[in-house]
Amino acid sequence: MRTSRPLLPGLIEACHAVIVSNADHLGELDRAIGDGDHGTNMKRGSEAVYAERDQLGGLPLPEALEKIGMVLVTTIGGAAGPLYGTLLIEMGRGLRAAGSGDGVLAETLPPAVAAVARRGRAQAGDKTLLDVLYAVQQAVLKQSPPAEVAAYAMSAATDTIAMKALRGRASFLGDRSIGHMDPGACSCALLTGSICRFLEEFPSA
């Protein structure tokens, strides 16, 4: 990743587009096993980041990631705001500490995902967005091509359908949470897919 300038606004636009076009679907998933606000919350967050995309693109990448994380924390709300926010803030901090270089961004992922797990007090198999993050982390560390990373993410989200929720509102439903995809896992897989498609079209990044 040479410079954040052309790359980051494009990534933000891609993430914004996938959230806006899937907001209703995310809301439906959350209505089934939660409080129904995941679509509107994610849309609010992605619109806030989208509005600042040019300014964010002018920042060094570590600062930009941290700033996006803070915007997500304060605009998404719910439980997803702190989780997505923590992911990006920690990636930004990791990147700043590690300096620049090929593959450095990938190395920031495991500690950032671990921070998300601590924040949500969740682990693999709890039927949360972490189930997707772990799959993405594994694929990225294996240096899988973007299309493969996206496929792993979607398959991990699909795997949450059979799980019983152990964290969040959905856990109140017990066994009745089984049979529905976790909305956070879904948004995480959609975002991963969108980011991967974008990166494939811009291999120089």
Partner 1 sequence: MNTNGANVGIVIVSHSPLIARGTADMVRQMVGDSVPLAWCGGNAEGGLGTNARDILTAITSAWSEAGVAVFVDLGGAETNSEMAIEMLEPARARRVLICNAPIVEGAVMAAAEASGGAALARVVATAEELSP
Which residues are near partner 1 by CB under 8 A? 35, 37, 40-41, 44, 73-79, 81-83, 85-86, 119-120, 167-169
Residue 38 interacting with Mg ion (CB under 5 A)? yes
Residue with tokens 């959609």: 190
Residue 76, contacted partner among partner 1, Mg ion, none, CB below 5-8 A by kind: partner 1
Q: What's the CA gap between 1 and 18, in Å, rounded?
A: 23
CB-nearer residue toward partner 1: 79 or 105: 79
Q: What's the CA gap between 112 and 116, in Å, rounded?
A: 6
AA letter at 159: D
Residue 30, contacted partner among Mg ion, partner 1, none, CB below 5-8 A by kind: Mg ion
* Distances in whole angstroms, Cα of residue 105 to Cα of each of 12, 69, 77: 17, 15, 26
CB-nearer residue toward partner 1: 80 or 109: 80
Shortest distance in whole angstroms from residue 162 CB to partner 1: 23
Binder to Mg ion among 37, 90, 126, 182 (CB under 5 A)? 37
Residue 30 interacting with Mg ion (CB under 5 A)? yes
CB-nearer residue toward Mg ion: 41 or 108: 41
Residue 34 interacting with Mg ion (CB under 5 A)? yes
Residue 35 interacting with Mg ion (CB under 5 A)? yes
Shortest distance in whole angstroms from residue 77 CB to partner 1: 4
Shortest distance in whole angstroms from residue 68 CB to partner 1: 15
Other Cβ atoms within 10 Å of 167 Cβ, number = 17
Q: What's the CA gap between 117 and 123, in Å, rounded?
A: 6
Shortest distance in whole angstroms from residue 96 CB to Mg ion: 31
* Distances in whole angstroms, Cα of residue 126 to Cα of each of 7, 85, 93, 148: 33, 20, 27, 24
Shortest distance in whole angstroms from residue 147 CB to partner 1: 33
* Nearest partner of 194 among 81, 42, 33, 67, judged by Cα: 42
On whether the CB atoms of residues 190 and 22 are closer than 8 A, the answer is yes
Q: Which residues bind Mg ion (CB under 5 A)?
A: 30, 34-35, 37-38
